[in-house]
Structure 1
Amino acid sequence: MELSDIRNRIDAIDAGILDLFCERMELAQEVAKAKAQTGKAVFDPEREREKLSQVARAVPAEFSGQAVSLFSLLMSMNKAAQQRAIHAADAGSLSRTAFNALQLIDKPFPALADVACQGVEGAYSQIAACRLFKIPTITFHPTFEGVFRSVRDGSSTYGVLPIENSTAGSVNAVYDLIAKYRFSIVRSIRLKIDHNLLAKPGVSKADISEVYSHEQAIAQCSEYLERLGVTVHACENTAQAAAFVAESPRRDIAALSSRDCAALYGLTAIDEDVQDSDNNYTRFVVISATPQVFPGATRTSLMLTVSHEPGSLYRVLERIYALDINLVKLESRPIPGRDFEFMFYFDLDCPFGSAALGNLLDGISDVCEMFAYLGSYQELI
């Protein structure tokens, strides 16, 4: 049999598969109506196990795994279509609620705003806030939760918080507070972080016996600090560490902080750019107590929990894959009071308002125990 003949046969088979696929997906509408009338859940695990077992037995053993994967994906797409059909007439559906938050095109991201940050003047959060807003009025809080409370109470319209670093990883405390407060993320920025060893004028590196900084900065400069051979102390913030060194009568201490803090607190940079990696970026997010989506939003954040059983997270990932949505981050955090159970955070690269995003928001609840939309936004680089 010639290759051209084989390809023609494959094309004919594929055409038949496509016709049957479309017919199968159209039947999802009828299934959704029947389930809505009887109150039956979209996800029927017993039916799914039975179907996959039949598939596995119906094909030669060497094709069993591939056939099960194919039909598992088919059923996932079918269930998502059922969810969309059920929510189609629901004015309060998650996709409509989210899409209704879109700001009018004549309301770009604000240049002036009341913004809450953790730390003191010169902190990286303050630097990020000044990049995100042209003229922010900033209030500082000693803790991350203080920022959330300020936004919750209306003292600040927005909060700016670090959420992950390219070297030290996620800022777990911020993820936990996002789960607690359920605020919306309305913008993010990736900020290049350059740490500097700051001390009082006239102090040399040989004089330093102790270094103060935030735990993330310490982690980002761990190799440098080990070579330096000093005692390290964690502070609430890199800028607070610089302020502490400036106010202390001691001349054997230094801070890991930004260049801005040197001028701000009258210190000298003994060593510059001491982070272990030159590719050292921290991602900051802007939080809002009310849902807001501004023009240009291409990233979406979700938070969810799944049942504590095999394959539960896979079913969520399967839905994302089936809709051709790019997953750019997946983070897990333990759920307080529930042993070995986790909250999952997803960052998706998908334009806001797209059919794919709407289909995901309305078609994923059946494979989750809890599901929350945290917002869609633009990420600045």
Structure 2
Amino acid sequence: MELSDIRSRIDGIDDELLRLFAERMGLAADVARAKAGTGKAVFDPAREREKLARVAAEAPEGLRPQAIALFSLLMSMNKAEQQRILAGGNPTTTSSLMRRALKGNDEPFPATASVACQGVEGAYSQIAASKLFRVPNISFFSTFEGVFRAVSEGLCEFGVLPIENSTAGSVNAVYDLLAAHSFYIVRSLRLKIDHNLLAKPGCALADIREVYSHEQAIAQCADYLERIGVKATACENTARAAEAVARSSRRDVAALSSRDCAALYGLDIIDANVQDSDNNYTRFVVISAEPAIYPGASRTSLMLTLSHEPGSLFRVLERFYALDINLVKLESRPIPGRDFEFMFYFDVDCPVGAASLGTLLDGLGDVCESFTYFGSYTEVL
């Protein structure tokens, strides 16, 4: 058979596959209505197991894995379509919340605002806030919880907090507080972090025996600290560390902090850019008590808890794939008090106006135990 004849047969088969696929997806509306009438969940694990077992039994032996993968994807797309239909017009769905939070093109992200930060002047959170807002009115608080409380009580409109570092990973405490307060992310910034060793004027590196800094900064400079052979002591944040060194009567202490803190607290930079990786970035987020999605938003953050059973993560990832949504972050974290069970942080890259994003958000409850929507926003680089 000539190649042109083979391709002609393939095209004919593909045309028939496409017709049958459209017919199969069209039946999703009938299935959705039937399930709505009975209150049945979209995800029916017994039905799926039965279906895939039949596919495995009937497929040619050499094509069995491919057949199972194909029908798994077909069922995932069908479930997503059912969820879209069932969620239509429901004001309590996540997609409805998202639509209500959308700001018009004439309402851009604010240039000025009252902003809560953790730490003191010179902290990286303050540097981030000054990049995120043109003229921020910054109030400082000693803890992450204090920042959330300031926003919750209306003392500040927004808070700016670190949520992830390229070396040390996610800041779990911030995720926990976001979930506990039911707050939202409305903006983020990817900030290059250069740690510097700051000491009193006249001190040399050979004099230093102890270094103060935030635990994340210590982790980001762990190899360096081991190499110079000093004790590392954790502080509230890097700016507090610089302040502590400036106030100390000792001359054998130093701080891992920003260049800004050297000028602010009258310290010398005795070693610059000491982080273990030069590709050291921290993501800072702007938090708000109310959902607000500003024009151009294309990043969405989620936290999911999955059942402790085979295939639970696969079902979630399969949904992303079926809806052609780009996943830019996936990080697991143990669930306290539940051995070998994990929650997952997801960030997706998808324009807020895309119908697929709403379909995903309204259908996640069908493939996980629980999930939290942290908001949709623009990331500033």
User: Alpha-carbon deviations, 1:312-365, whole Å to 9, x = none?
Assistant: 111111111111110000122333333333222210000011111111112222
CA distance, structure 2, for counterparts of residue 339 and residue 92 of structure 1: 33
Partners in 1 of 2:41 and 2:108 — Cα distance?
41
Deviates more, 1:50-59 or 1:95-104: 95-104
Q: Which residue of 2 aligns with 1:13?
A: 13
2:325: which partner in 1? 325
Letter in 1 for 2:56: A
Instruction: Tell me which amino acid in the other structure corresponds to 1:235.
Output: C
Residue 311 of structure 2 corresponds to residue 311 of structure 1: yes
Aligned-pair identity (%): 71
What residue ranges of structure 1 are gaps of 5+ in the alignment?
Answer: none
Moved more, 140-149 or 115-124: 140-149
Match of 1:371 in 2: 371
- Partner of 1:364, secondary structure, is helix
Partner of 2:300: 300
For the residue of structure 1 that corresponds to 2:310, the secondary structure is coil
Normalised by the length of structure 2, the TM-score is 0.97
Q: 2:118 aligned with 1:118, yes or no?
A: yes
Tell me whether 192-201 or 145-154 shows the greater mean CA deviation.
145-154
Separation (CA, whole Å) in 1 of partners of 2:160 and 2:363: 31
User: What's the CA shift string for 1:35-88, capped at 9, x where partnerless?
Assistant: 111111111111111110000011111111110111011011101111111111
Kept in 1, the 8 Å contact 2:103–2:294? The answer is yes
* 1:237 counterpart residue number: 237
Any stretches of 5+ residues in structure 2 without a counterpart? none
Task: Tell me: CA distance 1:175–1:93, structure 2 relative to 1, closer, same or farther (3 Å).
Answer: closer
Q: Partner of 2:324: helix, strand, or coil?
A: coil
What are the within-5 Å matches in structure 2 for residues 207-222 of structure 1? 207-222=207-222
Task: Tell me how large the CA RMSD over aligned residues is.
Answer: 1.2
Aligned residue identity for 2:140: F
**Please, what TM-score do these two structures have when normalized by structure 1?**
0.97
Give distance in 2, aligned partners of 1:343 and 1:227.
Answer: 35
Greater Cα shift, 62-71 or 90-99:
90-99
- For residues 157 and 144 of structure 1, the distance between their equivalents in structure 2, rounded to whole angstroms, comes to 15
Q: Is the 8 A contact 1:80 1:364 kept in 2?
A: no
Equivalences for 1:1-381 in 2 at 5 Å? Answer: 1-381=1-381
| Amino acid corresponding to residue 240 of structure 1 in structure 2 | R
1:212 positional shift? 0.8
Shift of 1:207: 1.1
Q: Which amino acid letter does the alignment assign opposite residue 34 of structure 1?
A: A
Residues 176, 333 of structure 1: 8 Å contact kept: no
CA contact (8 A) 1:193 1:282 kept: yes
What is the aligned length? Answer: 381
Secondary structure of the structure 1 residue equivalent to 2:159: strand
Q: Following the alignment from structure 1 to structure 2, what is the Cα–Cα distance between the partners of residues 93 and 165?
A: 32
Question: 1:147-198 CA distances to partner (integer Å, 9 max, x unpaired)?
Answer: 1111112111111111111122222222222232221100000001111110
Contact 2:209 2:252 in 1 (8 A): yes
State whether residues 157 and 288 of structure 1, in contact with CA within 8 Å, keep that contact through their aligned partners in structure 2: yes
Q: 1:75 is aligned with what amino acid? A: M
CA contact (8 A) 2:179 2:372 kept: no
